[in-house]
Amino acid sequence: MLVRTILLPSVLKANPENQSVHYGMMIGLLQDLEKNGVVLLDETNCIKAALFQDIGNLPVKFRKKAEVLLKDLKKKNRFVELSLPDVFKPICKNKPCQQCIRIGKEYLPPAILVSYGCKECTETQLALFPSVEVIDVAEYRISNLFESHLKQVDRVFLNGESKQDKFEQEIFIPLFRDAKHIKIYDRWIGRSALQPPDIGQIGDNYKLTLEWIIDVFLRESRLGVSCVLEVYCGLDTRNICQAKIRTFVASLRQFESEMRHTHSFPNFKLIIKKETQANQMPHDRYLITNQVAISIARGFDLLLDKRKDPYPRRVRDVTIAYCSEAAKIEQAVRSLPDL
């Protein structure tokens, strides 16, 4: 899933020696970050300005590719600007480097990437923060950062193999920490209201998972209740009369209201899509943020244990895969009428 990183501007500086090797590794790093990374910046624009300034001094063929990748990171909202208290006083005379060190000490990302002799200085300043790995860009492919985070792989959880706390750390928290907008797509959340034993209400298995997601999001999100969480579900209307449709919709709206009130989260929204024989929501289930998109093969019936069981409950078997064409999913669902 997404991983926070810091880029010292030295990583993108022109290097008159070993150009092809250095620039090739630099481009490879940016490509990996574009897939799976978040770059932490200061809110004064100091670090970002230095990164883009140094790119301008690269040879043309490398500069153009680097500029495209940096723009892609920006488009995917992977540049995250953070406020910095004055508690930490870095010793480096370079202002962008000072800001990078302060971010490392305050927010403790897994890694800070450096180059051009900056590693020793950075390690010295972060000596009291061993959880932050200082990585020379020339070695990042053999680093823990790449093996554990930047290597984009799907995840398979076997039935009961993991519990909620582990699943949160590996999947939900990296996705939610810096997201401003989260969209969940699962037609069966609404369709479950048509299934026994609780006909007319969302199945408790889905309720339990959604409550869990809201709890994790509000606990771990940097932006909290100012963010938007939208749940898109379907209601299969093929064999239901209009009166029953209204009843089912009212029940789903009641759940929406309860979630907003219970969690003090006015930006929680439930969008109910009308499904017919010809027009239905996609079969697969998705979690899409303003930074990344994944498919969740099982859907949002994630918990093996029931409500009566204590936290952390066991997680059902599920496969988590990256989704590269989120816009298609969003458009397909948007085209269906609302209820």
What's the CATH number where 258 sits?
3.30.870
In a domain, 339, yes or no: no
Regions in the chain scoring below 50 on pLDDT: none
Two structure tokens written together for 222: 């940097």
Q: Say if residue 173 is in the same domain as residue 115.
A: no
Q: Say if residue 161 is in the same domain as residue 307.
A: yes
- N residues, the chain: 339
Q: Residue 289 in contact with residue 229, Cβ under 8 Å?
A: no
β-bridge mates for residue 185, sequence order: 232, 286
C-alpha–C-alpha distance, residues 169 and 2, integer Å: 11
Q: Find the CATH number of the domain harbouring 145.
A: 3.40.50
pLDDT at 16: 60
Q: Say if residue 135 is in the same domain as residue 197.
A: no
- Domain range for 259: 155-334
Q: Is residue 228 exposed (0-12), middle (13-18) or buried (19+ Cβ within 10 Å)?
A: middle
Of 134, 150, 166, which marks where a domain is finished?
A: 150
pLDDT at 61: 87
Q: Residue 7 in contact with residue 51, Cβ under 8 Å?
A: yes
Q: Say if residue 141 is in the same domain as residue 211.
A: no
Of 150, 165, 191, which marks where a domain is finished?
A: 150
C-alpha–C-alpha distance, residues 184 and 175, integer Å: 12
C-alpha–C-alpha distance, residues 29 and 23, integer Å: 10
Q: Say if residue 301 is in the same domain as residue 163.
A: yes
pTM of the model: 0.93
Domain count, the chain: 2
pLDDT at 17: 66
Q: Say if residue 198 is in the same domain as residue 122.
A: no
Provide DSSP, 211-278: HHHHHHHHHH-SSGGGSEEEEEEEEE-TT--HHHHHHHHHHHHHHHHHHHHHTT-TTEEEEEEEE-SS
Q: Say if residue 102 is in the same domain as residue 251.
A: no
Q: Say if residue 220 is in the same domain as residue 168.
A: yes
